[in-house]
C-alpha cells in the first residue's frame, strides 16, 4: 500500500488588528499553525505584528485604506503564502464579497459561506428566515422599493401606528447600533428616518432601513452556535450582554443568569432551528431580546462571525472557539461532546475601552506609558496593547478585555472586581472604573438590568474620587516610583501609572 499524502502545511492570514488579532494568533500558535499579520501605518509596532510568524504592510492608517481593502489583503496573502484567512470580528468579517474573494483564491475562509453572510447579514432577510424556522420575531415592516416622498412618510407613519410606539427605525445592513433610531411618537419619525438613513449609508454604504417594534425594557441574550455546513449544529450555551451603551456592550457573562430553564431551552432550540434551516457553517451568534418578565423572547439578529465576547463562553464551557472554527473550516466537522455542553464555571468580562465614560465616552488617545495587568487563577487578559503602545483615533476604542472565571457567579464577580482594582492603564482614561461600579451595583447582583440601564440609571455617573486625606500620600508615593530607562543611556525616568491621575483610584 502506498503512503498517504502528507497533510498540507497551513498559513493563516489574520485579516484584523489589535486585541482581535492577538487573540487569534495565540489560538493558532497553540495548535501549531503559522500566522500572517497585516498592519497599517498606525499598527506598525503593535504587539500582534510581533507575535505573528510573518507580516505585511497594508497601507495608511485609516481602515478604508488598509484593513477594509480586499485587494491589499489578497496581495499580502499571495506574497506570503497564505492558505487560509480568519477575518476575526468587525472590518470584513461579515462581508460576503470578502468570503467569495478568499475562496476564489483557493484558500480556506474561516467563517460562514458568502451566502450565509449575505442573507443573515441583511436584517430583513434574516427576520424572514427566522420566521420560516419558527423563531419568535417582533412586528416589523419594510417599505416597498419605490414610493414618492409624500407617500413614503405617510406609509411609515401608518405602519408605526399599526405596530405601536415605541418603534425602531433600523438599518438593513451592519450592526453595532449604527443606522438605528428609537421613535416614541409620530412627531419624531420625520427626523429619525433621514438621520438613520444617513448613518446607515456612511457606515455600511447601504441606506435601506426598516421599522421594528421596540421592546423596552429588555435583556440582550445571545446563543452561541457552531455549524458544520451540512446541517449539524452545536449549541454552546448562552451569554448575557444587556449592560451596554448605545448598543455597544460593556459587560458580558456566560452562562446568562436568572433565566428560567424552559425559556433558556426554548431560546436555544430557536437558535438551533435557524442555524439548521440554512445549514450554517462555522461559529455564529443568534441574539434575542428577553422581556422584563422573562417570559417572552424575540429574535434580534444573527451575527455570522466570532463575537468579541466569546472568551466567557470558552471559560464557562471549557472550549476554544477558534480551534473549533478551524476544525470546521478544515472539513473535520464538530467534535463529539461539543453540543449541549454543561457549564463548568461562570465567567464575566469587561471591555477595556480607551474612552472617558464621565465625559460622554469621549475617545482617549495617545501613548500608553504603563499597562499593568492582573494575574492569578481564573483571570484571563485578552489585550491588544502593551506599555509603549499608542492608541490612535483611527479604530474602535476597545483595547482589551479582562475576564474572570469562578465556580459560581458571585465568585467570578469578586475575582473580576479584584482584577480591575489591580489594573493600571496610564495615562489614558478608560472604561474600567465604570465597569467596576457596574459590577458592584445591586442591579448587577440581582440581575435587574436591561439594554438601556446604563443610559437611564447611570447617565449621571462620575469618576470615583480619592478622599482628600489620601491625595498627599499617593502623590508622594508616585514621585518615588521609577521606571528603568529603555537603554543604558540616561537616567531612570518617573514612571507613569494610574497614580498620575488620582481620579478613579480606589485606595
Q: What angle do CA 62, 66, 68 make, to 5 degrees?
A: 95
Query: 128 in a domain, yes or no?
Result: no
Query: 332 in a domain, yes or no?
Result: yes
User: Rounded distance, CA 391 to CA 17, Å?
Assistant: 12
Catalytic residue among 118, 197, 305, 380: 305
Query: Which residues lie closer than 8 Å to 109 by C-beta, 6 or more apart?
Result: 84, 85, 87, 99, 102, 103, 329
CATH number, domain containing residue 20: 3.40.50.20
**281 is known as an active-site residue:** no
Task: Determine the pLDDT at residue 481.
Answer: 55
Query: 3 in a domain, yes or no?
Result: no
Give burial (CB, 10 Å; 0-12/13-18/19+) of 149: exposed
Task: Determine the pLDDT at residue 498.
Answer: 42
Asked if residue 288 and residue 309 are part of one domain, the reply reads yes
The pair phi, psi for residue 456, each rounded to 5°, is -90, -55
Asked if residue 474 and residue 430 are part of one domain, the reply reads no
176-189 residue pLDDT tens:
778 999 999 999 99
Cell of 188: 419624531
Q: Is the pTM of this model over 0.95?
A: no
Last residue of a domain, one of 194, 213, 232: 213
Query: 507 in a domain, yes or no?
Result: no
Ranges in the chain, pLDDT < 50: 1-2, 483, 485-507
Structural domains counted in the chain: 4
Asked if residue 61 and residue 93 are part of one domain, the reply reads yes
CATH number, domain containing residue 191: 3.30.1490.20
Cell of 363: 475617545
Query: 200 in a domain, yes or no?
Result: yes
22-79 residue pLDDT tens:
999 999 999 999 999 999 999 999 999 999 999 999 999 999 999 999 999 999 999 9
User: Contact 367/426 with Cβ under 8 angstroms?
Assistant: no
Task: Determine the pLDDT at residue 202.
Answer: 85
CATH number, domain containing residue 309: 3.30.470.20
Task: Determine the pLDDT at residue 480.
Answer: 59
Asked if residue 488 and residue 394 are part of one domain, the reply reads no
User: Rounded distance, CA 409 to CA 413, Å?
Assistant: 6
User: Rounded distance, CA 64 to CA 318, Å?
Assistant: 37
Asked if residue 282 and residue 157 are part of one domain, the reply reads no
Structural domain that includes position 21: 11-110
Task: Determine the pLDDT at residue 137.
Answer: 97
Asked if residue 231 and residue 197 are part of one domain, the reply reads no
Task: Determine the pLDDT at residue 148.
Answer: 66
Query: 119 in a domain, yes or no?
Result: no
Query: 117 in a domain, yes or no?
Result: no
Rounded alpha-carbon distances, angstroms, from residue 415 to 34, 320, 378, 443: 34, 22, 8, 18
Amino acid at each position: 500500500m502506498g503512503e498517504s499524502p502528507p497533510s498540507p502545511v497551513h498559513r493563516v492570514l489574520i485579516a484584523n488588528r489589535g486585541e482581535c488579532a492577538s487573540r487569534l494568533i495565540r489560538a493558532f500558535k497553540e495548535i501549531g499553525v503559522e500566522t500572517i499579520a497585516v498592519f497599517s501605518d498606525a499598527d506598525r509596532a503593535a504587539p500582534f505584528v510581533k507575535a505573528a510568524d510573518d507580516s505585511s504592510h497594508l497601507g495608511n492608517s485609516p481602515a478604508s485604506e488598509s484593513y477594509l481593502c480586499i485587494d491589499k489583503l489578497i496581495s499580502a496573502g499571495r506574497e506570503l503564502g497564505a492558505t487560509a484567512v480568519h477575518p476575526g470580528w468587525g472590518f470584513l468579517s461579515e462581508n460576503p464579497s470578502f468570503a467569495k474573494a478568499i475562496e476564489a483564491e483557493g484558500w480556506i475562509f474561516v467563517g460562514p459561506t458568502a451566502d450565509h453572510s449575505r442573507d443573515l447579514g441583511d436584517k430583513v432577510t434574516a427576520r424572514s428566515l427566522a420566521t420560516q424556522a419558527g423563531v419568535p420575531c417582533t412586528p416589523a415592516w419594510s417599505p416597498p422599493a419605490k414610493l414618492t416622498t409624500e407617500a413614503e412618510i405617510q406609509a411609515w407613519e401608518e405602519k408605526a401606528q399599526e405596530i405601536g410606539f415605541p418603534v425602531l427605525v433600523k438599518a438593513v445592513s451592519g450592526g453595532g447600533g449604527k443606522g438605528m433610531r428609537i421613535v416614541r411618537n409620530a412627531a419624531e419619525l420625520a427626523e429619525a428616518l433621514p438621520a438613520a438613513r444617513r448613518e446607515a449609508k456612511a457606515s455600511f454604504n447601504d441606506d435601506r432601513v426598516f421599522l421594528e417594534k421596540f421592546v423596552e425594557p429588555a435583556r440582550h441574550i445571545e446563543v452561541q452556535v457552531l455549524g458544520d455546513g451540512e446541517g449539524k449544529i452545536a449549541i454552546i450555551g448562552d451569554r448575557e450582554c444587556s449592560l451596554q451603551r448605545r448598543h455597544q456592550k460593556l459587560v458580558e457573562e456566560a452562562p446568562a443568569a436568572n433565566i428560567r430553564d424552559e425559556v433558556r431551552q426554548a431560546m436555544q432550540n430557536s437558535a438551533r432551528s435557524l442555524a439548521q434551516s440554512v445549514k450554517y457553517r462555522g461559529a455564529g451568534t443568534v441574539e434575542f431580546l428577553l422581556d422584563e418578565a422573562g417570559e417572552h423572547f424575540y429574535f434580534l439578529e444573527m451575527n455570522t462571525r466570532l463575537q468579541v465576547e466569546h472568551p466567557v463562553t470558552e471559560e464557562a464551557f471549557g472550549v476554544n472557539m477558534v480551534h473549533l472554527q478551524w476544525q470546521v473550516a478544515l472539513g473535520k466537522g464538530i467534535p463529539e461532546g461539543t453540543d449541549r455542553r454543561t457549564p463548568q464555571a461562570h465567567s464575566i468580562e469587561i471591555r477595556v475601552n480607551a474612552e472617558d465614560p464621565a465625559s460622554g465616552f469621549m475617545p482617549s488617545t495617545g501613548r500608553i506609558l504603563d499597562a499593568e495587568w492582573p494575574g492569578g487563577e481564573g483571570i484571563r487578559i485578552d489585550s491588544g496593547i502593551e506599555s509603549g503602545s499608542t492608541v490612535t483615533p483611527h479604530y474602535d476604542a476597545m483595547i482589551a478585555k479582562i475576564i474572570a472565571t469562578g465556580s459560581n457567579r458571585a465568585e467570578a464577580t469578586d475575582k473580576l472586581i479584584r482584577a480591575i482594582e489591580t489594573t493600571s492603564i496610564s495615562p489614558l482614561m478608560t472604561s474600567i472604573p465604570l465597569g467596576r461600579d457596574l459590577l458592584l451595583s445591586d442591579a448587577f447582583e440581582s440581575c435587574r438590568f436591561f439594554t438601556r440601564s446604563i443610559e437611564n440609571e447611570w447617565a449621571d455617573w462620575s469618576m470615583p474620587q480619592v478622599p482628600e486625606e489620601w491625595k498627599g500620600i499617593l502623590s508622594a508615593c508616585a514621585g518615588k516610583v521609577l521606571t528603568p530607562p529603555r537603554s543604558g543611556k540616561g537616567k531612570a525616568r518617573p514612571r507613569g501609572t494610574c497614580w498620575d491621575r488620582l481620579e478613579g483610584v480606589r485606595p
